[in-house]
């Protein structure tokens, strides 16, 4: 009889413990909160190593002299190649990431490869007389620029062994908007060439909200530096600017 009482007491004790554990677990479940972390693609990219993001605000604060390469070249690991030490001789002004060469630097506009430089033949030094596909989009039409350093061929395909430059443009709006901007750079010395640039853009709906369009273009001209501006250097290929003129007009239509 005594043994039965002891067993009964142990059974009641175990049942009580299980009830307390169940109540505690239920209480913990009721107190659980769901934490949602939201981040934009731009914020996520900024946290990744080997990635730099240039925003539209950055471009507005420091507008480029000729094209977007003036801003992209300031990112870590990015250089401009050319026949001169400065990489700014004439049109030969291509982006080079981590010294892998411009042929291993992929230029994208809204995720689509821009390969117009492939139509230009190689020079005897293995370079192309091209601006490297960076003057197609006016700076005012750029939402952000993503510069990815390091091999990215697995994601973007061939031509991205050195890195990727992805130029994200602003979306066409549902209302008609237009802009015109003028920029000039006048050096103090008459030996240095002046720079002038004009950009325009026009965007709006063609068929209500179903179809929008955008038209933009630019005209920029840089005068040549004086031929003897770098004469004390003693090299045949002076590092001064050669004269260059670029004209571009682009139209884009997008359905919603």
Query: Taking a C-beta distance cutoff of 8 angstroms, is the pair 100, 163 a contact?
Result: yes
Q: Would you say residue 49 lies in a domain?
A: yes
CATH classification at residue 226: 2.170.130.10
Q: Would you say residue 106 lies in a domain?
A: yes
Distance in angstroms (rounded) separating the CA atoms of residues 240 and 227:
8
Distance in angstroms (rounded) separating the CA atoms of residues 91 and 67:
11
Distance in angstroms (rounded) separating the CA atoms of residues 76 and 176:
38
Q: Would you say residue 244 lies in a domain?
A: yes
If 0-12 CB within 10 Å is exposed, 13-18 middle and 19+ buried, where does residue 154 land? exposed
163-169 and 105-109 strand pairing: parallel
Between residues 123 and 223, which one has the greater pLDDT? 223
Mean pLDDT confidence for 80-87: 55
Question: Please, which pLDDT band fits residue 232 given cuts at 50, 70 and 90?
Answer: low
Distance in angstroms (rounded) separating the CA atoms of residues 223 and 66:
11
Give the pLDDT score at 144: 94
Distance in angstroms (rounded) separating the CA atoms of residues 158 and 160:
6
Distance in angstroms (rounded) separating the CA atoms of residues 53 and 148:
9
Structurally, the chain folds into a number of domains equal to 1
Give the pLDDT score at 147: 93
Q: Would you say residue 6 lies in a domain?
A: no
Q: Would you say residue 137 lies in a domain?
A: yes
Q: Which among 65, 57, 186 is positioned nearest to 135, based on CA atoms?
A: 65
Q: Would you say residue 31 lies in a domain?
A: no
Tens of pLDDT, residues 108-166: 888 888 766 666 666 555 555 555 566 677 788 899 999 999 887 677 777 888 899 99
Q: Would you say residue 171 lies in a domain?
A: yes
Query: Taking a C-beta distance cutoff of 8 angstroms, is the pair 66, 92 a contact?
Result: no
Of the given ranges (8-12, 238-242, 249-253), which has the lowest mean pLDDT?
Answer: 8-12
Top mean-pLDDT range of 4-8, 216-220, 243-247: 216-220
Mean pLDDT confidence for 204-231: 75
**Residue 152 to residues 58, 155, 163, 253, Cα–Cα distance (Å):** 25, 6, 6, 29
H or E, element range at 197: strand 195-205
Domain that holds residue 239: 42-255
pTM metric for this prediction: 0.62
Q: Would you say residue 77 lies in a domain?
A: yes
């Amino acid at each position: 009889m005594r043994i039965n009482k002891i067993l009964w007491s142990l059974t009641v004790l175990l049942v009580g413990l299980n009830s307390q554990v169940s109540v505690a677990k239920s209480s913990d479940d009721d107190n659980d909160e769901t934490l949602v972390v939201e981040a934009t693609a731009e914020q996520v990219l900024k946290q990744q190593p080997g990635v730099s993001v240039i925003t539209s605000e950055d471009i507005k604060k420091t507008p480029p002299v000729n094209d977007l390469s003036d801003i992209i070249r300031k990112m870590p690991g990015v250089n401009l190649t050319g026949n001169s030490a400065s990489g700014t001789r004439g049109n030969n002004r291509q982006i080079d990431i981590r010294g892998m060469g411009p042929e291993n630097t992929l230029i994208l506009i809204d995720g689509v490869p821009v390969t117009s430089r492939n139509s230009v033949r190689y020079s005897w030094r293995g370079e192309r007389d091209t601006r490297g596909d960076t003057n197609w989009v006016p700076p005012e039409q750029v939402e952000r620029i993503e510069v990815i350093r390091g091999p990215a061929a697995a994601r973007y395909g061939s031509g991205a062994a050195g890195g990727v430059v992805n130029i994200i443009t602003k979306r066409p709006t549902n209302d008609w908007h237009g802009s015109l901007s003028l920029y000039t750079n006048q050096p103090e010395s008459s030996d240095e060439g002046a720079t002038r640039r004009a950009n325009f853009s026009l965007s709006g709906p063609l068929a209500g909200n179903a179809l929008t369009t955008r038209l933009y273009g630019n005209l920029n001209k840089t005068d040549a530096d004086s031929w003897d501006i770098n004469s004390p250097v003693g090299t045949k290929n002076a590092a001064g600017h050669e004269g260059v003129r670029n004209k571009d007009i682009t139209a884009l239509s997008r359905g919603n």
